[in-house]
Amino acid sequence: MSEYTLDCLGEICPVPLIKTQKKLAALNKNDILIISIDHSCAMKNIPEWARKEGHNVEIEEINDGEWEIYIEK
């Protein structure tokens, strides 16, 4: 199991979701992807998509309006 990060700060939908999908596709089972976002639309869309794909998802608010989304492949 390895951890990878993806910085999507300052990017608006659908860019963070597309980058997340591409990065997660390249990871191995049980790897964790940590996505940094500051766009509320992405905060909804990324976890929703990941859960539909069967991944474990956790969200942590880092600052007011900034989140980290943890996705376990």
Residues serving a catalytic function are 13
Strand partners, 33: 4, 71
Cα 9 to chain center, whole Å?
Answer: 11
